[in-house]
Amino acid sequence: MNHAHHHHTPTGSRLGATIAINVVITVAQVVGGLLSGSLALLSDALHNASDVVALIISAIAEKLITRTSTPEKTFGYRRAGVVAAMINSVTLMAIALLLIKEAVTRLIHPVDVSPGPVILLAILSIALNGLCVLLLKEEAEGSLNIRSASLHLFTDMVTSVAVLAGGVAVALFGVHRLDSLLSMGIALYLIYASWGLVIQSLSVLMQFTPPSVDVSKVEEAMLEEKAVRNIHHLHVWQLTDNDIHLEAHVDFHEDLPLSRVGDTLAGIEARLRNRFHVTHVLLQPEFEVCDDTDLIADAACRREPHDH
């Protein structure tokens, strides 16, 4: 059977542009944060630096995904994008914890902040990160990897909004502790935003059943074929975020000709593709072979050869 796979990878120019833009933002924010004494601005700079790393990781992963499979790597590097998404989302959470630590320190020992550079650089960051999010918007919809990089950019844009608010508060009311409080709020948001991606990536890597697939309904669909008596040893997992694989043992009521077995399995496969968007189907036909007929089973079938 021919199994076609499609990759929605962003162009190198788009990723290159977002990397370059974030390098500029990071350098500007580090300089501005040191001159103004703003923790929120330095925190934002740290997050922007992580954006650069995340984008580079995503770019490498997207390149690896397109590599041809080999006898030693039959799936190629198809999961490189999922691994990149996991790294990027875990990195976001680690950065958030660092921000909380620094914010608590600044709350105990507040530092005066010069609002001018903070406000200007926050506006610059909002505009440029917003542009980067738009550049990757289309690809992010179809790739967990690009979505994780885009999340870095989007959360940094939100971070800059909070930094801007803090700068305005210092300029108008002289409230310097607000800078640290906003940093803590930003950190909590980062943890919230990245947690979903961590769970999604982990589910794919652990080969959990995709949330879009109801195993009981899969069994019902397969048993619609009258010649089929039982479905067992069913496994459904994701190779990537868009590539669902399914394998199962199909037990027949009677010992049928191979041609009819093939037609039956083809009907089951078509149904699985149409209803559950399964991209790769592997079905093992059986007749009075397997003692274990549980739908989900860990042990292999105990086969007894038939006497002829």
Angstrom CA distances, 93 to 101, 266, 275, stand at: 13, 45, 36
What is the distance between the alpha carbons of residues 288 and 229, in angstroms, rounded to a whole number? 10
pLDDT tens digits for range 147-187 = 888 888 888 788 778 778 878 887 888 777 777 788 788 78
What is the distance between the alpha carbons of residues 259 and 17, in angstroms, rounded to a whole number? 55
Domain boundaries, the chain: 12-205, 215-286
What is the distance between the alpha carbons of residues 297 and 211, in angstroms, rounded to a whole number? 20
Along the 308 residues of the chain, how does pLDDT read in single tens digits?
Answer: 444 444 444 456 788 888 999 899 889 888 888 887 777 678 778 778 888 988 899 889 988 988 888 999 988 999 999 999 999 999 888 888 887 887 788 788 776 767 788 788 889 889 998 999 998 888 787 788 888 888 888 887 887 787 788 788 878 887 777 777 887 887 888 888 889 899 999 999 999 999 999 999 999 999 999 999 999 999 999 999 889 999 999 999 999 999 999 999 999 999 999 999 999 999 999 987 776 677 776 666 665 555 54
Q: Do domains 12-205 and 215-286 have the same CATH topology?
A: no
pTM above 0.95, yes or no: no
Q: What is the homologous superfamily of the domain 215-286 according to CATH? A: Cation efflux protein, cytoplasmic domain (3.30.70.1350)
> Could you tell me the strand order of the sheet in which 243-252 lies?
228-240, 243-252, 280-286
Looking at 1.10.10.10, 1.20.1510.10, 1.10.3720.10, 1.10.645.10, the CATH number of the domain 12-205 comes to: 1.20.1510.10
Partner residues linked to 280 by β-bridges: 245
